[in-house]
Structure 1
Amino acid sequence: MLSKAETLNIAKKQLILDYNLQITDFENNTNTIVEKKLLEGRRLYDNDDCFLKILCMENKAFISTEATIIPWFEEFYGKGTGEWFFNYPNLRRIDNKLKDFGHEIADCHHYYLPIFNNIPIKELAPVKWYEKEDILQFRGDDRFDEAFAFNDNFPDMLGVAAFDGEEIIGMAGASADCESMWQIGINVMPDYTGKGIATYLVRLLKEKVYKRGKIPFYGTAESHINSQNVAIKSGFLPAWAELYTRKIR
């Protein structure tokens, strides 16, 4: 099993591609501000070419943006740190400045990396596994909108469903967001929430993804406490947070 430090280093190598960073940037004592570049191997999401992306990790902020706004960030955030960066007063100030350029904050999420132990996974329900080709049968099924993305930029690679008789009561899926890391998503049917199904499936999928030579990771929204609890109970720990922007509509 990889250690926590080894897993974190793999994630950092990916974030370097996502944010146009250098590995030495993580050794800085203050925030890092760089010009945005679209590097080969970066994670490709719908916000890929956004005006501004911010990564908060290890008490520092890494700001990747257009050259035109870099002087402003250097003035206000060049000497700061990142532990309170996503507090609302900062977000409001940044959002107001973005309006000068026709953009606004779109969203921010935080992400979790796995830890591994030898605690057995207690079976809660029968399960069935789905490979990449099998997952296509669920396209358009709104029950599994968190488990599967059906996006060529981060293809769904593996899924696992829990059953009550013939009925699917929960589904977890893993997408290949980049070469080294697969992201896990989870849906549980309303009548079966609070029974441990989400944690059960995410733990199973986490272990299977790792055995396939990939690092599983988990992302969720700032206010989604239930999802955060699932991540922690499934053996994930908070690792970083990200913000991205969009054009004002």
Structure 2
Amino acid sequence: MDNKTILQIAIHQSAIDLSCQPDDFRSLQNKVVISSENAEARKYLTLPFFCHLVSYGNNIVASVDTSVVDIVDSYINKFEVGHCFETPNLYVLNKALEKHGMQVCFVAEYFLPDLEQLTLLPCDYDLKILKPDELTDLYVTEWENALCEDRKHLDVLAVGAYDQGKLIGLAGCSADCESMWQIGVDVLPDYRKQGIGAALTSALALEIIELGKVPFYCCAWSNLRSVRNAIKSGFSPAWVELTAKSKAFVDQLNQ
């Protein structure tokens, strides 16, 4: 596996998720497609999308409901690619979606491993690889980023950091689709800023690659602590996503 192959796998998965073709992401022209369900899509996605934008940097591919094709097409072709994912331009899209009872909800940056940078980082604490049957008692608040209680069956592998037998950090991965496993990581507050998160993330990423899967990492670009961890761990920014949800869904999250 090399960096080119890793990127190709990610683009192929995005094409599955968005109901488009991989080459659509390599074009310099934006594209709008109609979203549809697909059993091979990432498990945490709710399909079909009403409005979902993805960019690998060249352009934007939008997977949408038929009712907003013209709205979204106009939006992504009016503003520069990067600006379509941020304010103030984002208000234009949000205002148009509100007429359909929808709002911009999630905006996130995704990272892929850079095999020229990824290496097993040192850690002052003992690291241990954990299998699914060793994660049963770890679905608690401290590890809510590393593990997902709602999708326990997808948590396939983890690496824990231990201080004299006490679990102080955990990186876990979920088998979100056939080819790609997503990494999440948590470190107890008293143990942060010691490089534990990066050591866990890099160790888990290497284990995932050894199993023939592509590790990926996601966070909001405003979450600087998480962004720094991704970069320190040997990951690089690869693509961005924007997802609209119902106003009721957004209101529930904001309570």
One fold, TM greater than 0.5? yes
Q: Normalised by the shorter chain, which TM-score bucket?
A: over 0.9
Of 152-161 and 10-19, the range deviating more from structure 2? 152-161
Q: Is the contact between residue 112 and residue 218 of structure 1 (CA under 8 Å) also seen in structure 2?
A: yes
Q: For the structure 1 residues 154 and 6, does the alpha-carbon distance in structure 2 shift closer, same or farther, using more than 3 Å as the test?
A: farther
Alignment-derived partner of residue 226 in structure 1 = 225
Give the AA of the match of 2:205: K
The CA deviation at 1:26 is 2.4
Runs of 4+, deviation exceeding 6 Å: none
Contact 2:107 2:241 in 1 (8 A): yes
Partners of 2:114 and 2:227 lie apart in 1 by 15
Q: Deviations over 1:81-101 (max 9, x none)?
A: 523221202211111111110
Contact 1:47 1:245 in 2 (8 A): no
Counterpart of 2:251 in structure 1 is none
Q: What SS does structure 2 have at the residue aligned with 1:85?
A: helix
The TM-score with structure 1 as length reference comes to: 0.93
Q: Distance in 1 between matches of 2:223 and 2:209?
A: 25
Identity across matched positions, percent: 30
Deviation at 1:38, TM superposition (A): 1.2
- Deviation, 1:208, is 0.5
| Aligned partners of 1:209 and 1:216 also within 8 Å | yes
Partner of 2:82 in structure 1? 83
Name stretches of at least 5 consecutive residues in structure 2 with no aligned partner. 249-255
Give the conservation status (yes or no) of the 8 Å contact 2:76–2:84. no
**Hey, what's the Cα distance between the residues in 2 that align with 1:7 and 1:32?**
23
**Aligned ranges for residues 1-249 of structure 1 at < 5 Å?**
2-45=1-44, 47-78=46-77, 82-117=81-116, 119=119, 121-139=121-139, 141-152=140-151, 155-249=154-248
Q: Which amino acid aligns with 1:155?
A: L
What do residues 134-178 of structure 1 show as CA deviations (whole Å, max 9, x unaligned)? 212212x11000000133487101111111112211111011010
Contact kept in structure 2, 1:105 and 1:244, CA below 8 Å: yes
Cα deviation code 1:67-124 (max 9, x no counterpart): 1110122233347652322120221111111111011111111100001248553242
The answer on whether the counterparts of 2:38 and 2:47 sit within 8 Å (CA) in structure 1 is no
- Asked if the contact 1:154–1:177 (Cα under 8 Å) also holds between the matched residues in 2, the reply is no
Q: Name whichever of 17-26 and 112-121 sits farther off.
A: 112-121
- 1:34/1:63 contact within 8 Å kept: yes
* Contact kept in structure 2, 1:156 and 1:176, CA below 8 Å: yes
SS class of match (1:161): strand
Q: For residues 162 and 73 of structure 1, what CA distance do their matches in structure 2 show?
A: 45
Q: Give the gaps of 5 or more residues in structure 1.
A: none
The alignment partner of 1:226 has SS state of helix
Do the aligned partners of residues 184 and 120 (structure 1) sit closer, same or farther apart at CA in structure 2, a change above 3 Å counting? closer
Do the aligned partners of residues 41 and 154 (structure 1) sit closer, same or farther apart at CA in structure 2, a change above 3 Å counting? farther
The one-letter code matched in structure 1 to 2:163 is D
Name the CA shift for 1:3/1:33 in 2 (closer, same or farther; >3 Å).
same
| Aligned mates of 1:224, 1:210 — CA distance in 2 | 26
Question: What SS class does the counterpart of residue 89 from structure 1 fall into?
Answer: coil
RMSD of the alignment, in Å? Answer: 1.8
